[in-house]
């Protein structure tokens, strides 16, 4: 049997556009004399469609598209993911389904059994769980077809009582197939590979695993579709972060050798490519072409500017330097040097008069009060107003430059440096930002070395340094990682050798600043606990961790 794996980049809600892509892939598979072509989970509507699933017309249009795809299944089997009406008297109205067509006939509709409701997933909100387990006979083989989470419930910490493949195994399948919508995070790639390889070994069956690729707002899909032999060896693997099409010549009587090669040997390269894809797809799928960025001469704005220039073209990223009386000449010069290196247009707009005017306006209101963080925030908010004005006037998207360390402890200003349409590095801790800068400079020094070497500073008061308010980022990031990603309490973190008062102060800052993050722009997710949809905490709460 010749099997085509079609790894595509879908746009959520663009049912016509997605269907056109799918039909093109079916035509390509036919031209290659494939017996079967497989697509990913909810391919017709894009994943995750969220509350679009609540609109009956949306489901009807998906159903129309599925029927059209079925009409194009002459002389080939097609397995495609889409939502479907459950038509049950009780329970949810929808299933997350895989439709299996051949010669214009629906051979089988397979519904997803395990519905994840954690991290970025919220499937039980919409879908009913499958209760029927049957393989599909196709051209002399028996196919056990599953959808994403259905193959994840196999480790020692099982989240569900039911194991779908245990049920399907009773029907003596010869091949496993999994339609997936598995998003990227930097600790997920190997975990996913291992989990799928484990399935092949447990059931002694080859596995066709088909994932999607592309950025859908904050969620990034890396692809990595693969064919695994029954011994758990990866025979073929699709390219990461790009659409791909693989043909598998498979015979149930053969075991194909391990052909797996790591395209990436280090996490930072995966993070780099994930962020590039996220920026490119956010702009492309939204219909925008140009970005504007506040370029301070610091490491965060430098990394965001460099990524954006790579993703969109340097000429499409406008850098605005907005010095105040506290900005060093070196910072402005470094930002200008970076813009020139990236062939980006730039402009220097001083905020001194703007800040003076605002301080004068508030002079009577603040009479008798000492200057404090309020005056610092006026500077940040002046910059935010300028960037948003340029965005409005020219139709640019403002790229936010805050990192995860700053966002976690509230070291950022609402309606100031937190403004923007997309947060590019908001899921990277400060140490990771430096690591990414060094990675991007590995072949040629695009980011001036002075930016990487200088001590971090917001430059909002004389001789200000981040270390005035925060511990060293190597320590801060360690506390934050264990609290946010590892979900450890302060006592557990203190046992790692960190001072108790510091740990408790940082955790209080994280909890206290939840209200700020609630108002932040969408953040490209590269960890398994990104702020936003992946970590939903109450704003009004009091809990001693």
Q: Which residues are catalytic?
A: 41, 112, 148
Q: Report the distance separating Cα 311 and Cα 543, nearest Å.
A: 42
Instruction: Write the DSSP assignment of 370-410 as a string of letters.
Output: PP-HHHHHHHHHHHHHHHHHHHHHHTPEEEE---HHHHHHT
Instruction: Write the DSSP assignment of 101-160 as a string of letters.
Output: EETTEEEEEEE------STT--GGGTBPPP-----EEETTEEEEEEEGGGGTTTSSS-SS
Return the ∠ at Cα 272 (arms to 266 and 276), rounded to 5°. 150
Which residue from 5, 164, 158 is spatially nearest to 79, judged by alpha carbons? 5
Residue 122 and residue 532 in contact, taking contact as beta carbons nearer than 8 Å: no
- Run of H or E including 79: strand 77-85
Contacts 24+ apart (CB under 8 A), 97-103: 97/147, 98/41, 98/145, 98/147, 98/179, 99/66, 99/69, 99/70, 100/136, 100/138, 100/143, 100/145, 101/69, 101/70, 101/73, 101/77, 102/73, 102/76, 102/77, 102/78, 102/138, 103/73, 103/74, 103/75
Q: Report the distance separating Cα 369 and Cα 524, nearest Å.
A: 40
Residue 399's CB is within 10 A of a number of other CB atoms, namely 27
Using DSSP bridges, classify how beta strands 175-179 and 207-210 pair: parallel, antiparallel or unpaired.
parallel
- Run of H or E including 6: strand 2-7
Q: Where are the alpha helices (DSSP H) in 32-120?
A: 56-71
């Amino acid at each position: 049997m010749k099997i085509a794996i079609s790894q595509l980049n879908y746009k959520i809600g663009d049912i016509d556009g997605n269907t056109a892509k799918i039909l093109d892939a079916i035509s390509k598979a036919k031209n290659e004399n494939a017996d079967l072509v497989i697509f990913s989970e909810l391919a017709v509507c894009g994943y995750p469609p969220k509350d679009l699933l609540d609109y009956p017309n949306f489901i009807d249009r998906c159903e129309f598209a599925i029927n059209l795809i079925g009409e194009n299944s002459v002389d080939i089997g097609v397995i495609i993911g889409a939502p479907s009406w459950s038509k049950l008297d009780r329970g949810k109205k929808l299933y997350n389904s895989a439709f299996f067509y051949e010669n214009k006939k629906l051979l089988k509709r397979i519904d997803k059994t395990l519905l994840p409701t954690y991290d970025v997933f919220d499937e039980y909100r919409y879908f009913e769980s499958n209760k029927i387990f049957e393989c599909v006979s196709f051209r002399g083989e028996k196919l056990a077809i599953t959808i994403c989470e259905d193959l994840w419930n196999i480790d020692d910490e099982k989240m569900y009582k039911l194991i779908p493949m245990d049920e399907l195994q009773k029907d003596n399948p010869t091949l496993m197939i999994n339609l997936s919508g598995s998003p990227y995070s930097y600790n997920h790639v190997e975990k996913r590979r291992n989990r799928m390889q484990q399935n092949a070994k447990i059931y002694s069956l080859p596995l066709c695993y088909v994932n999607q690729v592309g950025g859908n707002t904050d969620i990034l899909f890396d692809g990595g579709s693969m064919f695994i032999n029954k011994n758990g060896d990866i025979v073929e693997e699709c390219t990461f972060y790009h659409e791909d099409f693989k043909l598998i010549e498979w015979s149930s009587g053969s075991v194909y050798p391990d052909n797996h090669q790591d395209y990436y040997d280090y996490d930072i390269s995966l993070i780099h490519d994930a962020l590039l894809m996220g920026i490119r797809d956010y702009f492309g799928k939204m219909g925008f072409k140009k970005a504007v960025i506040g370029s301070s001469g610091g490491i965060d704005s430098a990394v965001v500017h460099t990524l954006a220039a790579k993703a969109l073209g340097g000429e499409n990223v406008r850098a605005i330097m907005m010095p105040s009386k506290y900005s060093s000449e070196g910072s402005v010069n470094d930002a200008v040097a970076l813009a020139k290196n990236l062939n980006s247009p730039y402009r220097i707009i001083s905020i001194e008069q703007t800040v003076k005017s605002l301080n004068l306006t508030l002079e009577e209101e603040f009479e008798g009060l000492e200057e404090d963080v309020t005056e610092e925030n006026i500077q940040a908010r002046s910059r935010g107003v300028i960037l948003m004005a340029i965005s409005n006037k020219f139709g640019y998207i403002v790229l936010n430059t805050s990192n995860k360390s700053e966002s976690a402890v509230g070291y950022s200003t609402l309606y100031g440096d937190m403004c923007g349409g997309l947060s590019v590095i908001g899921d990277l801790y400060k140490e990771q930002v430096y690591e990414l800068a060094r990675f991007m400079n590995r072949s040629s020094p695009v980011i001036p070395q002075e930016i990487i070497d200088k001590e971090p500073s917001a430059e909002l008061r004389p001789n200000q340094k981040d270390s005035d308010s925060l511990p060293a980022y190597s320590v801060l990031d360690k506390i934050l990682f264990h609290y946010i990603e590892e979900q450890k309490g302060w006592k557990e973190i203190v046992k790692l050798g960190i001072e108790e008062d510091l740990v408790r102060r940082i955790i209080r800052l994280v909890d206290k600043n939840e209200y700020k993050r609630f108002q932040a722009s969408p953040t490209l997710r590269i960890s398994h606990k990104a702020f936003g949809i992946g970590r939903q905490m109450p704003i009004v709460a009091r809990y001693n961790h």
